[in-house]
Structure 1
Amino acid sequence: MARPIGTFCGNLAIAATSSFAVLGFVSFFQSKEKETESTNNIKEKFTTADPQKISQGAKILKYGAPERGENVYFHANHVLGYNQAKRIPDWVAEHITADHLKGSATRKKSNFKEDVQIVDIFRSSNSDYKNSGWSRGHMAPAADSKYSQIAMDETFLLSNIVPQDINNNQHFWNHFEIYCRSLTQTFHDVRVISGPLFIPTVEENGKLFIKYEVVGINQVAVPTHLYKIVVIENTFDKMIAVGAFIVPNQPITSSNLADYQVSLDDLEKKSGLKFLPMLNLSKTKNLCSVVSCKLMGGKELELLFIRKKLESAYNLDELDKVWKEMKGKKISPEKTEYEIYERKKAELMRG
């Protein structure tokens, strides 16, 4: 017997109504689950906040809070915090020991390239620096990772780079990096944090302005200043010393680091970053009172470069070329240079 159309339609309407009710019920609970998940996520991040405000915040941030990307990016021998708006790092931290400075890694095999860990729309590119008038300045230097080609290659990722005055990069900043490496001859551990700063200047009307150039299609910010924090320590006496320095991103003729030393508090105020939060600073010493804060210069620096060239000579002709170059510059070799030359010559002759 055929079912009456009216009955069928009535049952269909009831079924449809029931289905929509079920769907609405499920949707309601899914929404509640998302709201609960959002609340739990916020609670995890803000454990000290008022519970009622957290609950209300979860409703406000139903679809999540704005994000600045990962807080920290890890590489083989450096760690960094990245500024997505400026396309440069906020800070780059590294650990240097005497062993890190030994090895066959060479920058000749390294190339500047984008860091794929950074979301592509927030990266800088090599084209940004081309014809910009600024050099690609390492925050974690390549020479601090001689022990590993991978570690050295990663220092060439553009997430570790800022637009830097060419003269500053090649001279003062380079000498500062050499200074940090030289500390490993005396101290077991050297930790360094480097980064860019944007410091205001006073205009003619007496007002303060922060003005900086941006370069390239990605508008990479050119810092007005650079900073470096150096922490040295020895395991046998537990001595820890700290020094903080701010230098202008321009040519510098001084070789005295103490001219640019600042308090850690001052650097924190200028950067908006809290440094070394797990170190009891009251038990540390001033770096420049423990070791000289004078950068190498003149003959001392020339000899350092000669030693590096002697060590890296790949055949006897190259070795003799470096030795003649030294004599041509009227640099008198010292005992160390003679020892390196004879040892390297013996190694190359053995084959």
Structure 2
Amino acid sequence: MTRFSVPALLLLGFLAVSCGDENEATPTPALPEHLTLGNPSGAAADPAQPTNYLLLKSQYALSYHRDKGIPNWVSWHLSPEWLGTAARQDDFRADATLPAGWYQVSTSSYTGSGFDRGHNCPSADRTRTVADNSATFLMTNMIPQAPNNNQRTWATLESYCRTLVDEGNELYILMGNYGKGGSGSNGYQTTIDNGRVTVPQRIWKVIVVLPQGSDDVLRISSSTRVIAVDTPNDNAQLPSWGSYRTSVDAIEQATGYDILSQVAPAVQATLEARVDNGPTQ
């Protein structure tokens, strides 16, 4: 019988444990709820990335552009669990979680501009608790939005999204903007707040509609309804959001984002090329 010294036995044991560790698969960490379908711009919570800075709230996720003073995009999950009876808080305020030294856009930044403080993640999508609703009033969730765009076109689309939830669905929603210059109630402007806040030219939204369930990414198929809308930031635009439907591919081409990156590639290709023609109310 072969005999081993104590040091040799210890070495063999160490090697056995090391080999066992190497063979164990490292679990892939789950993405946060509001980034289930992906991080479109590869945003990171790194102050050295000031034009694509990731902010993860309990209520939504966003990519923030320090130099524009607005989010590049905001992403959130809308399901019955997020809806309740909390009242609209209307407590617009600066976001103190931005890195030290960054300019904090405040509610007064929009005063007299002719543009609304336009929510990305809507107040009415977060009524589970007072804290959830209050979080939607952080200025990092706002863009300068033409009043008629905000109060008519987008308001009816937001309401339709909640109707879809009431009908037994859950939604993954991504809203963003691109370009520079819009027309509010005071006419055309490219910036407000002495140049510190950019007025976007176009405002878009992508909505993935799923029956309520689990394993959401795995349930997305080539027949899943995806609504993509791209509107001008203009006070004279049409009130019907259905008039501005487009494809995800077109929005990706305009922004450079990869919007449904966690969806299977073949399914993603089909969904992103399609323009929705479903009901609008």
TM surpasses 0.5: yes
Counterpart residue type for residue 232 of structure 1 = V
Change (3 A) 1:260 1:231: same
Match of 1:172 in 2: 153
1:83 to 65, 68, 80: 65
- By percentage of residues, which structure has more strand? 2
1:71 aligns with 2:53: yes
Match of 2:93 in 1: 113
Structure (1 or 2) with the larger CA radius of gyration: 1
Match of 1:194 in 2: 175
Structure 1: gaps spanning 5 or more residues:
1-64, 202-210, 296-351
Match of 1:253 in 2: 238
Match of 2:82 in 1: 100
8 A contact 2:76–2:173 mirrored in 1 = yes
Change (3 A) 1:235 1:152: closer
Moved >6 Å (runs of 4+): none
8 A contact 2:246–2:276 mirrored in 1 = no
Change (3 A) 1:184 1:127: same
The DSSP-based 3-state class of the residue aligned with 1:171 is: helix
Give CA-to-partner distance per residue, 1:124-177, whole Å, 9 cap, x none: 122211111111000000000111111110100000000011121111111111
How far off is 1:75 after superposition?
1.4
- By percentage of residues, which structure has more helix? 1
8 A contact 1:187–1:232 mirrored in 2 = no
1:288 aligns with 2:276: yes
8 A contact 1:188–1:233 mirrored in 2 = yes
**What CA distance in whole angstroms lies between the structure 1 residues aligned with 2:66 and 2:249?**
25
1:122 aligns with 2:103: yes
8 A contact 2:110–2:144 mirrored in 1 = yes
8 A contact 1:142–1:156 mirrored in 2 = yes
Identity of paired residues, percent? 27
How far off is 1:281 after superposition?
5.7
Give CA-to-partner distance per residue, 1:269-327, whole Å, 9 cap, x none: 211221121112643655734x41x24xxxxxxxxxxxxxxxxxxxxxxxxxxxxxxxx
How far off is 1:116 after superposition?
0.9
Change (3 A) 1:70 1:214: closer
Match of 1:62 in 2: none
**What CA distance in whole angstroms lies between the structure 2 residues aligned with 1:157 and 1:144?**
15
**What is the CA RMSD across the aligned residues, in angstroms?**
2.8
8 A contact 1:241–1:287 mirrored in 2 = no
Structure 2: gaps spanning 5 or more residues:
1-46, 183-187
Match of 1:204 in 2: none
Match of 2:39 in 1: none
TM-score if structure 2 supplies the norm length? 0.70
How far off is 1:189 after superposition?
1.5
Change (3 A) 1:245 1:270: same
**What CA distance in whole angstroms lies between the structure 1 residues aligned with 2:265 and 2:147?**
34
**What CA distance in whole angstroms lies between the structure 2 residues aligned with 1:127 and 1:115?**
13
The higher relative CO (CA closer than 8 Å, separation ≥ 6) is in 2
**What CA distance in whole angstroms lies between the structure 2 residues aligned with 1:145 and 1:272?**
29
1:149 aligns with 2:140: no
8 A contact 2:245–2:275 mirrored in 1 = no
Counterpart residue type for residue 233 of structure 1 = L
**What CA distance in whole angstroms lies between the structure 1 residues aligned with 2:50 and 2:112?**
30
1:229 to 193, 200, 206: 206
How far off is 1:200 after superposition?
9.2
Q: How does 1:303-342 map to 2 (within 5 A)?
A: none
**What CA distance in whole angstroms lies between the structure 1 residues aligned with 2:107 and 2:116?**
11
How far off is 1:72 after superposition?
1.6
Change (3 A) 1:83 1:256: closer
TM-score if structure 1 supplies the norm length? 0.56
Change (3 A) 1:181 1:160: same
8 A contact 2:115–2:144 mirrored in 1 = yes
The DSSP-based 3-state class of the residue aligned with 1:268 is: helix
